[in-house]
Amino acid sequence: MMHVRRCTRTGCARAAVATLTYAYADLTAVVGPLASYAEPHSYDLCEEHAVRLTVPRGWEVMRHVGEFPSPIPHADDLEALADAVREAGRADTAVRSTEAGDALTGRRGHLRVVPPAH
């Protein structure tokens, strides 16, 4: 399933288009296009917060020049979506019995759902 990353600013629910990272040794904040993956020491920002970011006195901001491009879906997201559509279209996801015939299982791809014992 495709997951849209949101702005990490408190109270903002807009989609992220930029990533903010800090270079503490250089007293620099870097705002660039949205990174491919969310990193624990970086912050995803919407366009408004990326453009309006301010830093403490003595710090410098390096910004991406121009508009922030829309995030490109990751190949894994597209593959997961295609798999979900294929799975929904299958008629063979019905409940099957095990070799012993005593328990029923439902199978979806590599996952198996076993009903609770009564």
Tally of CA atoms within 13 A in the half-sphere of 2 that contains its CB = 12
Instruction: Show the tokens assigned to 95.
Output: 């409940």
Is 70 within a domain? no
Helix (H) or strand (E) holding 108: strand 104-108
Which residue range forms the structural domain that includes residue 79?
Answer: 75-113
- 43 within 8 A of 20, measured Cβ to Cβ: yes
Looking at mean pLDDT, say which of 62-66, 78-82, 88-92 comes out highest.
Answer: 62-66
If one compares 79 and 41, the residue with the highest pLDDT of the two is 41
Query: Taking 90 as the threshold, does the pLDDT of residue 9 lie above it?
Result: yes
Instruction: Count how many domains the chain has.
Output: 1
Q: Whole-prediction pTM value?
A: 0.56
Tally of CA atoms within 13 A in the half-sphere of 88 that contains its CB = 6
